[in-house]
Amino acid sequence: MTVFNPSKIALSILLAGLTFVGASAQFKLPGAHTAEHRTLIASQEKIGTEIQNTTTQEFLDKLFAEEEEPEMDIYTEGWESQSVNCYRGVTVPQQRVLDVSNFAMPCNGYVTSPYGYRPRFKRMHKGIDLKATTGDTIYAAFDGKVRLAKYEKKGYGYYLVLRHPNELETVYGHLSKFLVKPDQVVKAGQPIALAGNTGRSFGAHLHFETRFMGYAINPAAIFDFANQTTHTVSYTFNKNTYQEARNFDPEANNEYAAKYKAQRAAQSSASKATKAAKKSSGTRTHKEKKGETLAKIAGRNGMTIKELCALNGLKTSSKLRIGQTLKLK
């Protein structure tokens, strides 16, 4: 009769395991196989196309590499911020649906600097910068009333704050001229100012903000600047998401920028042509110099002597004085 001994069984299992480990330690892949494996891995490496873990903000920083340092937030940092931010101590709801159906684009420029934190400046940009030329008309985004029309030399320059019935406030910065005054009631799309380069600015543009009870909402959450419209007829403010854009597409912005620049170039060319035409159609004159005659002056300007005389009330026998002004057209 065989006696069951647990100790002997455990010892057998242990010895078998040690034997397997020893055999494994002595097993090696053929050298040719190892070399082939290394060659295969090396051929699959594409250093130039490695996937980079880049954040959206880092991407935007590269896209808008030339943008300047954001202005101080006039609601919390700028001078006279007490009068700008009238919502101190007020309880702001966690969520609120706002009607943005009756709107107008503040200007037709493309985005030159988006909303968001700037790591290289360690400062938050609480609005969106839109391309504009000094003198371009700026429009009220919604119906409302002008709450402030002031100057802030450290950042916004000449700026307006409008309060709207949909509970939003909009801010327009770096203006060159006000077209409205405080307490004036305005309609969406009404001209309120001219664009400029005032305050802390290194090129003409419009700094545009959308605020709900002091909270700086990302304007791209409400407006689709590449298509010059709002995303929807209402916007839901939420304390957790108000800094997020809604479908902001840098490529779409680039396409719109190209169209904008082409349109501006065409307008500029047309304007120059119009000015040139007006200049050529205007009255031209000539001052008489020593030795000149009616025949010489008429011939140089494609006229007959009779036409030149009729235009100036002269006779063909009239003598000219040095310095005398003659009309040519």
pLDDT at 315 over 90: no
- Over residues 309-325, the mean pLDDT reads 85
CA 192 vs. chain centroid, Å, equals: 20
Residue 47 has pLDDT above 50, yes or no: no
Report the pLDDT value the prediction gives residue 290, as an integer from 0 to 100: 82
Task: List the alpha helices (DSSP H) in the chain.
Answer: 6-26, 31-44, 56-63, 81-84, 250-281, 294-300, 305-312
How far apart CA 106 and CA 137 sit, in angstroms, is 9
Residue 21 predicted with pLDDT over 50: no
| Residue of 160, 157, 132 lying closest to 72 (CA atoms) | 157
CA quadruple 189, 192, 197, 198: dihedral sign:
negative
Rounded to an integer, the average pLDDT of 232-250 is 93
Residue the block writes with tokens 């509970």: 167
Of residues 137 and 19, which shows the higher confidence score? Answer: 137
Residue bearing the bigger pLDDT, 317 or 12: 317
Given a contact cutoff of 8 angstroms between Cβ atoms, the answer to whether 172 and 146 are in contact is: no
What is the tens place of the pLDDT at every residue in 135-190?
A: 999 999 999 999 999 998 888 999 999 999 999 999 999 999 999 999 999 999 99
197 φ/ψ angles, rounded to the nearest 5 degrees: -140, 35
Task: Report in angstroms the alpha-carbon separations of 235 from 105, 143, 199, 220.
Answer: 16, 16, 31, 11
Cα angle 111-117-122, degrees, rounded to a multiple of 5: 125
Global pTM value? 0.66
How many CA atoms, within 13 angstroms, populate the side-chain half-sphere of residue 244?
Answer: 9
- Whether the pLDDT of residue 9 is over 60: the answer is no
The SS3 of residue 143 is: coil
Per-residue pLDDT, 283: 66
Q: Rounded CA gap, 303 and 297, in Å?
A: 8
Cα–Cα distance, 93 to 239 (Å, whole number)? 8
Residue with token string 């309609």: 187
State the Cα–Cα distance between residues 194 and 134, nearest whole angstrom.
7
In the block, tokens 């839901």 appear at 236
Paired strand residues for 128: 208
User: What does the alpha-carbon distance between residue 152 and residue 76 come to, in Å, rounded to a whole number?
Assistant: 13
> What pLDDT does residue 249 have?
86
What is the average pLDDT across 272-282? 68
pLDDT digits (tens, 9 = 90+) for 66-91: 566 777 787 876 656 777 888 888 89
Evaluate whether 199 touches 154 at the Cβ level (below 8 Å). Answer: yes
CA atoms of 260 and 49, how far apart (whole Å): 33
